[in-house]
Amino acid sequence: MELKETLLAEALKIPNNSHPRLQTYGDTLHAVETPDVLHSKLIESCSMDTKNEQTQVYKLEPKFYGSICLSSTALASCFTGSAVLSVSELPI
């Protein structure tokens, strides 16, 4: 197990009164490294605006990096693309 996975597994062993179910997932934890940056088209496929002046997404300098943004919840589209998932397939 890598250091991050070990630390996350140990953190889940700490009693958590607000989310008690978290304690039960320590043995099946798999850490996922998210990309630091994503193309704006991928983020926009998650219905997040990247073009207006006021946005929830931080953009890197277009002059140097093109249409690259810092990653956030847009990561979900990397795994599903345009797929429609049933409730039983959701990670809950």
User: How confident is the chain (92 residues) per 10-residue block, as mean pLDDT?
Assistant: 72 62 54 71 86 81 86 57 71 56
Residue 75 lies in a domain: yes
Claim to verify: residue 60 and residue 48 sit in the same structural domain: yes
- Structure confidence at residue 74 (pLDDT): 46
Question: Helix or strand or coil: residue 35?
Answer: coil
Nearest to 69 by CA among 82, 55, 84: 55
Best CA proximity match to 34, nearest among 62, 66, 76, 65? 76
What residues contact residue 13 under an 8 Å CB cut-off, 6+ apart? 23, 26
pLDDT at 16: 57
pLDDT number for residue 60: 81
Q: Is there a domain that residue 38 lies in?
A: yes
Is 87 within a domain? no
38 and 69 in a single domain? The answer is: yes
- Output the pLDDT for position 54: 81
Asked if residue 20 and residue 39 are part of one domain, the reply reads no
Domain count, the chain: 2
Q: Rounded distance, CA 74 to CA 13, Å?
A: 29
Same domain, 24 and 51: no
Domain enclosing residue 22, as ranges: 1-33
Instruction: Note whether residue 89 is domain-resident.
Output: no
Q: Is 10 exposed, middle or buried (0-12, 13-18, 19+ CB in 10 A)?
A: exposed
